[in-house]
Amino acid sequence: MVYLERWKVILILVVCAIGVLYSAPNLIGKKNVAWLQAHTPSFFPNQTVNLGLDLRGGSHLLLQVATQSVIDEHMQSVVDEARGALRSARIGYTGLGLSNDVVHFKLTDPSEADKARSAIANMDNTLDVSVDNGSFSLKMTDQQVADRKRAAMDQSIEIVRRRIDETGTREPTIQRQGDNRILVELPGVGNPERIKKLLGETAKLTFQFVDESATANGQAGPGEEVLPDASDPHRAYVVQRRIMVSGDTLTDAQPSFQDGEPVVSFKFDSLGARRFGEATRENVGHLFAIVLDNKVISAPVIREAIMGGSGVISGHFTTQSAQDLALLLRAGALPAPIKIIEERTVGPGLGADSIRDGATASFVGLGLLVVFFVVVYGLFGIFADIALFFNIALIFAVLSILQATLTLPGIAGIVLTMGTALDANVLVFERIREEMRLGRSVIASIDAGYKHALSAIVDANMTTLIASILLFIFGSGPVKGFAVTLSIGIITSIFSALMITRLIVVWWMRMTNPKAIPL
């Protein structure tokens, strides 16, 4: 155990050098780091540890997703589809409508119940259908409702993440809370008004035909709806409920200018381009509405078939609103409306106080450990303190390379790690003392110390590592930050105790050839 092969020595030195180099940017200041990032390649040590909301300041938002609206929207579409299916099968009915997530209608001729059931099954065979003397009830199963709500939450989280990423916010925290809430933390964002506006927009874009004759008198017929004009609250359009093309077929949207006015150019995928081309070819001369979140933002006349799969949305846009609309369309539409139910802002002053207090605690703890080891173990205590320095450098190097976010609990994990790092050395040094009391030689004592303490060091640290992994898996927010730094610290602690300290001890023995061990 005392002898170290050449490749091990080289590996230890290389790892220590990498640790120092990649942790160094955290000490040189933001301006110097920015210069390094601008003038050096990405693999060069030019990254720093990102500070969390509690250290850097920023905004905390709690969003609530109206998942029930997904069910309402789906069941409303069932009403429209049922109307079409019954008319196609020439089945008379009355009272078709929706109540408490259940579609109801009554046949004018109850003897056509089987025929109606078959028509509904051809329309959607997953619905739970109940019939009582010609009265039909159509509803989704409990499992279908739960699956749709869960899918809406998953999609909402992903789209919220895309929208925030598009704004350039670094290291946001976005995670589910409960069945219908999303926690969003934005480090460094002191005024989140624009992000709040972006998150509050559903951004559901559709292209629907306008019923020009009905628009004149404002009366919507079956299968139609009245939608307000986005720029003129006194104007409205009667549009067909049937969607010509939806925004989910868009592949890109960018702000641009046309005739000196801000517009949004868009591009469809192959399916959307084909549908858009066919619809415009068959309706030249008619109006079609561009609808965003149930408001008509533009209703142009189709002059000719648009077959290229791209187009332009014009309206009363400013440069900023055109950029925001393009961003929303690129990120995708939310499946359900989102409401902000809690908002907090952490000022940078409070974050600076947290950093100062955390640094003070770390330095005090580090100083006490260093002094304690020198007093108790003398020269070997100095060796352990040197290894502790490299251990801390390795922790910050790994955090910088992974671009992890450091929080106050993360600082607590680092402080705890410093204690566990030296704890491994305690096991080794105390074992060496025991061997010396038994009268063994210097080499035999040191060899036995590292050899017999190894299992205890690994067992103790693996137990803590398993606990920290479980904290990361089942914890959230600050608990995860604590688990990350603790896990990294445990791994680097084992390396520093068993490899770095041992390398220093081996070097000392070769240089001095001691007759006794100063322990």
Please state the three-class secondary structure of 342-357 as a single string. Answer: EEEEECHHHHHHHHHH
Instruction: Decide which of 142 and 195 is more confident.
Output: 142
Q: Which class would CATH give 201-342?
A: alpha beta
d(CA 23, CA 378): 28
Q: Is 221 helix (H, G, I), strand (E, B) or coil?
A: coil
| pLDDT tens digit sequence for 409-423 | 888 888 888 877 778
Cα-to-chain-centroid distance, residue 314: 32
Instruction: Decide which of 500 and 28 is more confident.
Output: 500
User: At residue 55, does pLDDT exceed 80?
Assistant: no
d(CA 167, CA 323): 10
Q: Which class would CATH give 68-145?
A: alpha beta
pLDDT band at 243 (very low <50, low <70, confident <90, very high): confident
pLDDT of residue 412: 82
| pTM: predicted TM-score of the whole model, two decimal places | 0.61
Q: How many helices (H) and strands (E) does the chain have?
A: 16, 19
The architecture of the domain spanning 6-56+347-512 is Up-down Bundle (1.20)
User: How would you classify the pairing of strands 236-240 and 261-268?
Assistant: unpaired
Cα-to-chain-centroid distance, residue 241: 34
Single-letter amino acid code for the residue at 72: D
Q: Where are the domains of the chain?
A: 6-56+347-512, 68-145, 201-342
Strand order in the sheet with 135-139: 93-99, 102-107, 135-139, 128-132
The reply to whether domains 68-145 and 201-342 share a CATH topology is no
The residues near 5 (Cβ < 8 Å, ≥ 6 apart) are: none
Q: Is 59 helix (H, G, I), strand (E, B) or coil?
A: strand
**Contact between residue 276 and residue 245 where contact means Cβ atoms under 8 Å apart:** yes
Mean pLDDT (the chain) is: 84
